[in-house]
Amino acid sequence: MTTLRSLWHLSRPRMAPYLWLIVLGGFGFAHWDRALTGQGGTAVLVTLLAWTFLHAGTLWLNAGLDRDEGEVLWGTAAAVPPGIERWAYAALVACVGIAAVAGPVVFTCAVGCAVLAVAYSHSSTVWKGHALGGPVVNGLGYGILTPIAGFACVGVSPTPRAGVTLVIGLCGVMAAYYAAQAFQGDEDRERGYRTLVARHGMAAAVRATRLWMWAGFVGAVLCAAIGWVPRAVLVLLPLFVWVDAHARRWQYSGDDKNSAWAKGFAARLLAGALTSLALLVGVYLDDSWHNRPVAGLGTASGHPTDRPLLPPHQMRQWERQHGVD
């Protein structure tokens, strides 16, 4: 029981919902992009289960490498049980096996994420301690492969708008990555890691966080300007200023060991994501109420007769619904 309790704490269950949101972000965007009714529900539930095992396995490998029983972000300190690496690899194998049920694209993404997890925390590679390796693993694994897995559950082909949105989402993931490491400079230096915070300090890590935030925000504004997303998202500018103001205070605080700054930043990011979702739902309901094209078809660049990329039988059904010859 002691081992199971330690494994539970070391898996940081409070962090898992953030990962689920990335999967669901890709899944939801595929629906929004084409104004689809619900499809792929079983596949996305399977994917969420697979990514739960991925999350646990990744963090158990990390705990086995660092042997850190001190303060952890979104988690509780716990003794690292012997043989935790075996539990980690079993969880990664379970992730890949479960993901196979959701389809070949999800399976491929799961394999990629599992390989990245091993490269990140295996004692012979330790990419997490590299100035480049750590960002690459987090950006590719969480910022690209994870939302693609969610998107693939819907069974539709990607559009250019989906690709641009993926890059904007990647900016958010990278901002969170640098924020999560910003208070760990002393620990990283003691382990001999060459992360940004270990080499240049907390202020540099938070500066990187803000740069990624600004890149994502500028991308979103440009998408709104050309009509790829509802222009109503521009009303979220005060929310972005609120999040950035917190990060700016953190950057110049000199408080380089306090995880409360990172937790506050994550809470603000979550509030921003949920507010954005509520706004999009509001726009959708308003368009639907007034019998206008909804979701992706209701943007300034869309038209009621735009043909979404769907499987043939769904394409014929869509054409009949919209009176398209």
pLDDT band at residue 302 using 50, 70 and 90 as cut-offs: low
Q: Looking at domain 1-156, does it have CATH number 1.10.12?
A: no
Average pLDDT over residues 14-20: 88
* Amino acid sitting at position 203: A
For residue 287, pLDDT over 90 is answered with: no
pLDDT band at residue 164 using 50, 70 and 90 as cut-offs: very high
- So what's the pLDDT on residue 237? 87
Closest by Cα among 305, 296, 299, 280 to 225:
299
How far apart, in whole angstroms, are the C-alpha atoms of residue 31 and residue 269? Answer: 23
How far apart, in whole angstroms, are the C-alpha atoms of residue 117 and residue 54? Answer: 8
Both structure tokens of 26: 């890709």
Average pLDDT over residues 275-295: 77
Kindly list the domain boundaries of the chain, sorted by start residue: 1-156, 158-312
Lowest mean pLDDT across 2-6, 45-49, 126-130, 145-149:
2-6
Average pLDDT over residues 42-49: 96
Residues 6+ apart with CB under 8 A from 145: 109, 112, 113, 116
Return the percentage of the chain with pLDDT > 70, whole number: 87
What pLDDT, in 10s, does the model give residues 224-262? Answer: 888 888 887 888 888 899 999 999 999 998 887 777 888
